[in-house]
Chain A
Amino acid sequence: MDALYHLMDHALPFAWAGDLFMKRALLAVVLVAPVCAAMGVMVVNFRMAFFSDAISHSAFTGVALGVLLGINPLYTLIAFGIVVGLAIISVRRLSSLSVDTVIGVFFSFAVALGIVIISARKGLTRDLQSYLYGDVLTVGDGEILAMGLLFLAAIVFLSLWFNALILIGINERLAKAQGIRVKALEYGYALLLALVVTLSIRVIGLLLVTAMLVVPAAAGRNLAGSVRGMFWASVGIGLASGVIGLIGSYYWDSATGATIILVACGFFILSQAVSVVRR
């Protein structure tokens, strides 16, 4: 990692990139923001924003469980997020209830359990702060490595199954008729999305992580005329929002996660204006 930071010193001779914590933050943002935006293409097209919200809010319980059990909260946060994501998909498949009702039940359970644990153990509130709002400036090398692995996993997943997922999004029956294994792909996508959401919480914060998936992809959808156009516009807007937001937060001394989301919302407003003018 030291060689990489040394390289960044030469490539980015700016005041904001001088400190080690800013270099780590930049790496985290560059790894997480495009993955969130790319996964967001499906979140927006499949109308899964509420699903992502349920996973991110399960972090309340994930973090509380970690502190309670004396384990690194990041591990319990990721594990609990995956459990909630897969449970939502399986209950939705087995139940006649609508998707948002099933998600609503799990969302409530995950948040309520977290609040019960936190309220019973007063000292936990402090630990939760960095997860609520995100704290990209304290990200360590281990977390950056994990984000790098997630970045690679997302590229592999989206290279192998992106086409099939989009076809499922258009019409599930048509996808099944083409021999696509809809159920397996749904679980695979939910698993990856749970990983993306939980790992991104350290950068953006659990309150706003869904916005990192939804806002760039929604802006991309406003601008694009094809699937490829939407994918690259979303990734570009996600990455630009991440980098601009990080630099902006350095100079304004504001919360990085929230600043990134504000920049992304700025892109969305512009894209909406372009979309209205085009009509």
Chain B
Amino acid sequence: MDEPKKPPAMIEVHDLFVEMGRVSILSGVNAKIRQGEITALIGPNGAGKTTLLLAILGMIPYRGRIDIRSGNGRPHIGYVPQHLEFDRGMPVTVMDFLCLPRQRPPVWLWHGRKMREKAQANLEWVEASHLAGRRLGNLSGGEIQRVLLAHALIDDPAIILLDEPASAVDRSGEELFMNLIKRLRRERNLTLLMVSHDISMVTRLASQVICLNRVVLSEGKTADVLTEQTLSTCFGSDKGLLLHDHQWEGDTELSCAYDPDHPDRPDHPEGK
């Protein structure tokens, strides 16, 4: 049977080098992020995952080339940071926060009607419409991540970059967030690139995986990349990957691959 045709690359990274002072963070990275797919970017701490996201966003200087495909002009890229570090005492409501980047009149005058409607629609999309009037500083980790997702969607981007989106989220919040990511891909046909340490999240969400450690060690379909050999090459003895009980709801074989002795393996003598 013929393999289904691969979707075209939405982002192509060619020979990318990033240096911070004299330290080389990325040295010769080549990668493709395919249109309409969820691509997970995995690698040990200090591998340059966030740096790659920032280079794609054009926020740091680099050598090499990053091509972003677009029908008419460069598509807007939405960005969801790992944590929103901010002064929690600031009296900023969720509606303020969503209107700030694109509203022309200053928010000290009013929230523009179109902007307010757009913000409200995005909040409904991330199942957070009830949060519109709440102060940003009073939200839980899961609520903030959903608001950040609504914020990233404000310009109807073609691409969303997520930097460990569920690292500060509790289990139920993580489940909700993962469903939202799946919906984004399915209903809006967005291209998503997600940094994650959480292998269960990667196996459940991503169709493509890029394994990075200053250079790309492996790239391809999730099943092809998440093998014991690739992961041990990438991580060595690094224990930065997370395993959750619920990962076994997904692809059992894949989620076992990186830790054959984990007691949660269905085939482990002391496992389920």
Known: A176-B59, A221-B89, A229-B91. A163 touches B97 (CB 8 A): no
Stretch at the interface among A102-110, A165-173, A248-256: A165-173
On whether the beta carbons of A177 and B91 are closer than 8 Å, the reply is no
In the complex, which residues of chain B have a beta carbon less than 8 angstroms from the beta carbon of A225?
A: 91, 93, 135
On whether the beta carbons of B101 and A226 are closer than 8 Å, the reply is no
Please give the distance in Å from A154's CB to the nearest CB on chain B. 12
Stretch at the interface among B7-15, B77-85, B247-255: B77-85
Asked if B227 CB lies within 8 Å of chain A CBs, one says: no
On whether the beta carbons of B106 and A163 are closer than 8 Å, the reply is yes
In the complex, which residues of chain A have a beta carbon less than 8 angstroms from the beta carbon of B57?
A: 176-177
Is the contact region of chain B dominated by helix, strand, or loop, or is it mixed?
loop
Q: Mark A149-181, 1 if CB is under 8 A from B, else 0.
A: 000000000111011101101110111111010
In the complex, which residues of chain A have a beta carbon less than 8 angstroms from the beta carbon of B92?
A: 166, 170, 226-227
Give Cα A1–Cα B269 distance, bound, in whole angstroms. 92
Query: B86, B91, B101: which contacts A227 (Cβ < 8 A)?
Result: B91
Please give me the residue from chain A that is nearest to B151 by CB atom: A174
Please give the distance in Å from A235's CB to the nearest CB on chain B. 9
In the complex, which residues of chain A have a beta carbon less than 8 angstroms from the beta carbon of B107?
A: 162-163, 166, 227-228
On whether the beta carbons of A174 and B84 are closer than 8 Å, the reply is yes
Is the contact region of chain A dominated by helix, strand, or loop, or is it mixed?
helix
Please give the distance in Å from B151's CB to the nearest CB on chain A. 8
Give Cα A135–Cα B116 distance, bound, in whole angstroms. 46
Asked if A268 CB lies within 8 Å of chain B CBs, one says: no
Please give me the residue from chain B that is nearest to A170 by CB atom: B86
On whether the beta carbons of B106 and A162 are closer than 8 Å, the reply is yes
In the complex, which residues of chain B have a beta carbon less than 8 angstroms from the beta carbon of A163?
A: 99-101, 103, 106-107
Please give the distance in Å from A178's CB to the nearest CB on chain B. 4
Query: A47, A169, A227: which contacts B108 (Cβ < 8 A)?
Result: A227
On whether the beta carbons of B85 and A158 are closer than 8 Å, the reply is no
Query: B85, B105, B109: which contacts A171 (Cβ < 8 A)?
Result: B85
| A interface residue count range (under 10 / 10 to 19 / 20 to 34 / 35 or more) | 20 to 34
In the complex, which residues of chain A have a beta carbon less than 8 angstroms from the beta carbon of B264?
A: none
Known: A159-B106, A163-B100, A166-B100. A177 touches B79 (CB 8 A): yes
Asked if B192 CB lies within 8 Å of chain A CBs, one says: no
On whether the beta carbons of B84 and A221 are closer than 8 Å, the reply is no
On whether the beta carbons of B84 and A177 are closer than 8 Å, the reply is no
Please give me the residue from chain B that is nearest to A178 by CB atom: B101
Tell me which residues from 91 to 150 in chain B have a Cβ below 8 Å from any Cβ of chain A. Answer: 91-93, 95-97, 99-103, 105-110, 135-136
Instruction: Report which B residues bind A (CB closer than 8 A).
Output: 57, 59, 77, 79, 81, 84-87, 89-93, 95-97, 99-103, 105-110, 135-136, 151
- 11 sampled A-B residue pairs with Cβ under 8 A: A163-B101, A164-B101, A167-B101, A170-B87, A173-B59, A174-B79, A176-B57, A177-B79, A221-B89, A227-B96, A228-B107
Instruction: Report which A residues bind B (CB closer than 8 A).
Output: 45, 47, 158-160, 162-164, 166-167, 169-171, 173-178, 180, 221, 224-232
Q: 19 other contacts beyond A160-B106, A164-B101, A173-B81, with CB at 8 A cut-off?
A: A45-B87, A45-B90, A47-B87, A167-B97, A167-B100, A170-B84, A170-B87, A170-B92, A170-B100, A171-B86, A177-B59, A221-B89, A221-B91, A226-B135, A227-B108, A228-B107, A228-B109, A229-B91, A232-B108
- The 7 A-B residue pairs with the shortest CB-CB distance, nearest first, are A231-B108, A177-B79, A162-B106, A178-B101, A167-B100, A224-B91, A227-B96
